[in-house]
Structure formats: structure tokens, C-alpha cells
Structure 1
């Protein structure tokens, strides 16, 4: 009986080879560490994986060069049911130096003519080869990116990005937008982006994004944007930005159902046009950033709870909630501000064009703890300072 069981076990193991469905890019002609262009080899490996119905495209340790040759966007299209995997930071996909001379180099994304689903990108190092020191309008090729998942005509669904180091992009390190659903970006590292680190947008039907455990390293260029950036959302729903370490700001606007929680931010958290928004348990240190440290406008349903918001003399306001302007008649509406520690030069909390606000249990440090302008139905436990009669 033991012999039969052992034989069956060996049969099962031997009939499931560990390399089944794996496509090593070197088997398709890619060569590491030289000046040869590896784009065609990468495309062939991905095409073979797609033709087989999915599998793993493997990038071994080494540096492989990619170039833009036609009007493709992105250069490498990831077919459905495919994992693009390396061996960590040693597996480098790098743009050719010509990237600095033109725009619209997008390294990895969904097929233009079909969209994609069930994709994983992991354990890779993406290098955009940027040599621009800062953003100069009209000169910096700001549309060059690492990951570029965007398709106006086809769905992009269930994409997971894990342990990817992306650096030296004159545009965004990672971008997700139209028709994206169920997007997860986890434990990734960013450096030297000129525009944004992780950019998220969308449209009607875009939903369910999670960015967690990511961080940006110290930069040797001057970033022009945020570490995490949600903009032009156009109907995006259900976004969680959680437990990230951001050397630049978080900008997050235009989302219905968003949680920004547990992040450390050296900069600001700002955004407009959200609904059902939770800002919780973040540490936001403005540093050299001027203006309000945390600021949200035209927001319906906002909870700001348990945050540490640290302004300096450059920050007149710690938390600013506003709305109802000549551009948009939506007030900052249905707001709860509780359990925060907030410091700033002038006002810890400022309300301007806000309605239905509850303020309780905060520790406020500023010359004026609460400033109200055009605010209605405000219930607060903040006691105005006693006038100085001397």
C-alpha cells in the first residue's frame, strides 16, 4: 500500500512541471547587459504567452533595453491571464536613451485593441532613463511612463503590481485610468519621477483601486507632482490609499468612496470633488510645502479622524474645508472632524462655504483654533480664545 501511494505521489508531481507555461525572454532573443534592442524579443515572448492562453513571461537578472518604434502605446502589451515576473531589482527593463528626445513612450500596459484581465506584474525594476532635472513645460517629455493601463474602448480588469521598483521617468512611474477595474499596487518603490509617482484616473465604470505599502525614495531630480495622484477621475469609485510612505504629497480628487488611511506624508493631502471620503490616521508633515496642510473642497460626506497634521510658519491653515464658489455651488457638506492633532501658523481648522459640520475632540495648536466663513450648521466643542484685554 505504501508503494502504491508513493508511486501515485511521484506521478502527480512529475506530471505538473514547475516551468509549465513560462516564457523566458532570453529564449526569444533578449540579451542582457549589451546595447542591443530587446523590444522585439519581449514582444515575441508576450505574444507566445498570449497565444497559449496565458502563463508567465520571465525576465531574468540583467538589463534589457526597450525602444519605441511605431505608434504603440504601450510598447509591451500584456495579454490576459499573464504574469510578467523578474527576480527583483536585478531584473531591469530600461528605456533606450532616445526616450529623452520625444514623447509617448509607455513601457508596459494593456493591449490597445483588446484590453486585458487577470494580469500580474511583479519583482521587476523599471528604468525610464530620464535625464531631465525638472519639469519644463514644452520641453520635458511628460507623457513617458513606466506602467500605462488606459483604454477608452476595452476593459482592463484585475491587475496586480507587486514589488516593482520604478525610477527615472519624465512622466509617471505608474498610471491607471480609463476602463480600469480592480487595480492593486502593493509594496512598490518609486524614485525620480518628474510628474507623478502613482497616477490614478478613470471614467464611468472605473472602480476598486488599492495602493498600499508603497514609498518613494529620496530624489535627485525635482518632482513636479505628487507621490500618489488621483486626478481626472470622471466617475472613479472605491479607492483605498493606505499605509504608504510619501516624500511628496497625496492629491486625490473626483472619487466616490475613498479612504486615505495610515499614510506618512511629507507634503500635503489635498483634493476636490469627492464624495464619501475618509481621511484617517495619517501623519502629514508639510515641511517646505506652503498653503493648507490638508485641504478638501466641494466634498459631500467627509470624515477627518485621528490624523496628525503638522504645519509650519509657511502654513496658515492646518485643515481647510471649503466649497460653494462661483465655479461650483457644492459646499463642503456633511463633515465630521474628530480626534485629530492639528498645528498651523494661523488657523488649525478653517471652514469656508461649509455646511453641516461637527467638530469634536481635537487637539488644536494655532493662534486661532477655528475660523468660520460662510459656514452653516456648525456644531463645535472648540472654545474661542479669550480676547486679550491688556
Structure 2
């Protein structure tokens, strides 16, 4: 598109994408130990602060009766807070129903103790906005909470945000979205302008719960997030993001916990993910459209989290066409939750239309029990959509390190499934113990031999 270069230059100037963004075939010069990068990254991540001024939504007409629709009251309170130079938009005790909420710079949306922010189940309450749906930019339903191009934005607790996903029409959209999803993918291949990729009302691409697009200085903290329609926390092209002490409860499909996409300097810490899909999923755009934007996810640190959900505790992809590098996953626990056991501890997935490079995913001191499939699963043969949706552009995956992982119960400890034209390289596992593993011998195809040091599977060393 004609303005892609100017947009990318703007993102660089704003610090939303590093000038040295990872490109296919570009090697990343890692330090002596990749973990030496973590304190440097965390030193750059500073949560925003806000003036000590409160804007109670009830002062703008909101009613916490669980029935009155308070969309206009939230809009007025947020605009007043922004106009005054910032502060806290406070949701007091009660049940507050609303449609889409749009955040502005210098606003901290505070969901107080005893408060529930409940989102409408009427699709008409979510206007069409500029967004990204499964890695492709388009015009679609507003996420339940949305911001674009803002600085210093926060959503904090200790109250509850309830998307009412299972109560509305959204989960029915899963069975109806096929034609819309095919059309959007083809639009991306055909380079249709984003503003002409129109979906939303009358279509079936359901919205995210929280999406913070091209924002700087973001905080999501101490809030309980329940029942999203789709991905729960979704920073896109964002920089300096903190997600801490958040509890996510989701059911159904496409209901990940936190999905940083094409974002940098992200800290996810102290969170609990009881999810019907991935816990944390790192993304950077899909296929042709992801390569068009060409912005990686990088410098992401996940610490001290608990995964009680399904699929991957930490997943990279499958939408990773802009590249992923410098992901650190440490001191986390994976165990059976109220409904699910994890399929994978570490799951890196892509396919031969994605392109892009994953370079540097590092895990240490991870404890897992009751994993249903491969504990570590890296595949370049993940689900491939229809034959009309873009050219073959092989991805690259390299430099995956695991240290101090303890897994009790899984089908395999390790599975590497590369492409003949793009072999997985640089996998290293050390000081790790895998017990109650169904098949002790790792599955290795189209991958360089992993390096093992002090690794046992069912009591026997891997060599």
C-alpha cells in the first residue's frame, strides 16, 4: 500500500518498532547468555502513573444496576479525564452494563472492589473500527475495551470485567465465520486497502476483549477478566506494556489469555490463565499482511505465572509473519485447572505461508504436571489455510533454549517438526527432568540434532 513505508517510519520514530526489526534470513547476534538481556529489558519497562484525580462514572450518569446501558456515561467520564490532563475513571461497587469502551491518553480505568464491568451481548453496541483480526488488519467490531495511538493507558482492579462471551451470540459466530474469514484472507493477498476490508455488524468475526493498538506505556493490573468472546488482552504494535497480577477465565475457542502482537518491551508477571485456549500467545501478523507491516514481537518477559488452561502455556504463533525474538519464560507453573489440562508447555507453531523468523525463545525453571501432548512442541507444519491464500514463504525457527524444566506426564518430552526447506536449528535443553512420558524418544524431523545436557526422560539420560 502506498502509505505503508510512511506508517512504518512513523512507528520507528515513535519507538513502536525497533529500527533493526527482524527480517527473514537475518541472524540475531545474541549476548553470551540470552538471559543477560532480561534485566536490561525490564529496566526499560516502566508502568504509567496517573494524577490522583478521580472521575466516578456515576457522576456522568452511570447506574450500577446491571440493566442500564452505560456506554455514554463511560464515554463522558473518559473524555473528561483526558481533557483534565488525566487521572482515574472509577467504576464503583455495582454491576455496570456497557457497550464498547474507548480509552484515551492518561486514563486509568479503575474497576473497584465489588464492581463488575459487564459488556453488552448486542453486536450493535460495538461500532466498526480499525483493528486486527487473527493477524490481518481490517475494519471490524470494536473490541470491548479499545484504544489506538494513545499513551499512558491502564485498566486496573481489583474488580471484575465480564465479557459475557458465552451469553451472547459470539460463540455462534465460530460456526458462521468461514466465508468472512476466507474473504479477509483473500483481501490481504490482493492488497485491498485496510479501510475497504469492512466487516463488523452483519458479519461474523467476533471482537477481542481488550485491544490496545499502537499505544505506548500500557498497564493492565489486578483485575479479573472473565468470559471474553475472543482473545482477552491484545496489545498490537504497542511498546512498554505491563500485564501483572491479572486473572483470566475463559471458555470456548479462540479465547487466549494474553496475545502481544508486533509489540516490544512487554512484561507479563504474576498472572493466572484458566483459559479454553493458549495462556500467553506471542504473535506478529499473518502471512501476506503480517509481512506487509513487518514488525516483530520482541523483548517479552513472562514470569511467575500459572497456567490452568488448554493448549500452550506459552505459545509462539501461529501468526508470526513479522518475526519474534527475545522471548523469556521463567518461574511458571502449569497444572490441571478447573476444566482443562495443558496440551503443551512450550508450543511454537507456524507453516509454510507465514514467512518470518522466530529467533530466541528461552524457558527456565518451569514446572508442569499432567501435560496431555508434547511438553515442548515446535512445528512448521501447523494448519495451512486454503490454496488461494497467498504464496509459499517458508518461516525460520532457531535458538530455542530450555533449562531447569520439570514435567510429570506428557506424550513426548520434545517434538521438532520442521520443513525440508527450513530446518529447525539451535534447540538446546539442559538440567531438565521429564517423567511419566508416554514415548521416551523425542520426535525429530527436519531439524538439527538438539543439544542435551543433564536431561532425563523416564529416568534415562538423553544424549
TM range (shorter): 0.7 to 0.9
After superposition, what is the alpha-carbon deviation per residue over 1:298-342, rounded to whole angstroms, capped at 9, x for unaligned?
421121111012334xx1x2112342x15xx33221222110112
Match of 2:156 in 1: 122
Specify the alignment match of 1:6 in structure 2.
Answer: none
Matching residue within 102, 109, 124 for 1:77:
102
The C-alpha deviation readout for 1:252-309, integer Å capped at 9, x for no partner, is 234211011122224112014521121111123344x33x221124421121111012
Instruction: Tell me how far apart the structure 2 counterparts of residues 338 and 186 of structure 1 sit (CA, whole Å).
Output: 29
SS of corresponding position for 1:92: strand
Deviation at 1:121, TM superposition (A): 1.3
Runs (5+) with no aligned partner, structure 2: 1-49, 127-139, 178-203, 286-294, 335-340, 350-356, 380-395
Q: What is the SS of the residue equivalent to 1:362? A: strand
Contact 1:100 1:131 survives alignment (8 Å) = no
What 5-or-longer segments of structure 1 have no aligned partner?
Answer: 1-17, 68-74, 370-380, 384-390
1:1-390 to structure 2, matched below 5 A, reads: 21-67=53-99, 75-88=100-113, 90-99=114-123, 104-111=141-148, 115-123=149-157, 124-131=159-166, 137-139=174-176, 143-150=206-213, 155-177=214-236, 179-194=237-252, 195-203=254-262, 206-217=263-274, 223=276, 225-233=277-285, 235-248=296-309, 249-250=312-313, 251-253=315-317, 254=320, 255-265=324-334, 266-267=341-342, 268=344, 269-272=346-349, 273-287=357-371, 289-290=372-373, 292-297=374-379, 298-312=396-410, 315=411, 317-323=412-418, 325-326=419-420, 329-343=421-435, 344-355=437-448, 357-365=450-458, 382=462
- More helix by percentage: 2
**In the TM superposition, what is the alpha-carbon distance from 1:56 to its structure 2 partner?**
1.4
Q: Return the offset for 1:172.
A: 2.0
The 1:354/1:34 distance shift into structure 2, 3 A limit, reads closer
255-264 or 98-107: bigger deviation: 98-107
Q: How far is the alpha carbon of 1:86 from its aligned partner? A: 2.5
**How much does 1:363 deviate?**
1.9
SS at match of 2:78: helix
Flag the structure with higher strand content: 1
CA displacement 1:170-220 (0-9 Å, x = unmatched): 21222222x2111111001111343223232433xx311111111134x7x
Aligned partner of residue 200 in structure 1, secondary structure: coil
- Output the aligned Cα RMSD: 2.8
Question: Do the aligned partners of 1:196 and 1:229 also contact (CA within 8 Å) in 2?
Answer: no
* Corresponding pairs, count: 322
Give the greater-gyration-radius structure (CA): 1
Partner SS, residue 64 of structure 2: coil
Change beyond 3 A, Cα 1:101–1:86: closer
For each residue in 1:21-52, what CA deviation from the matched residue of structure 2 results, as whole angstroms up to 9, or x when unmatched?
32111110001114211110000000011112
Does the C-alpha gap of structure 1 residues 166 and 99 become closer, same or farther in structure 2, counting only changes over 3 Å?
farther
Cα distance in structure 2, aligned partners of 1:330 and 1:256: 17
TM-score normalised over the length of structure 1: 0.74
Greater relative CO (CA pairs within 8 A, separation 6+): 2
Residue 67 of structure 2 aligns to a residue in which SS? coil
SS in structure 2 of the partner of residue 138 of structure 1: coil
Q: Is the Cα–Cα contact under 8 Å of residues 209 and 229 in structure 2 kept in the other structure?
A: no
Query: Take 2:243 and 2:415, find their aligned partners in 1: how far apart are those partners?
Result: 29
C-alpha deviation, 1:107, in angstroms:
1.7
Q: Which deviations, in whole Å up to 9, do the C-alpha atoms of 1:51-89 show, x marking residues without a partner?
A: 12211111111111112xxxxxxx22211122111223x
TM-score w.r.t. structure 2 length? 0.63
Deviations 1:325-366 (A, max 9, x none): 15xx33221222110112321235333223364211112218
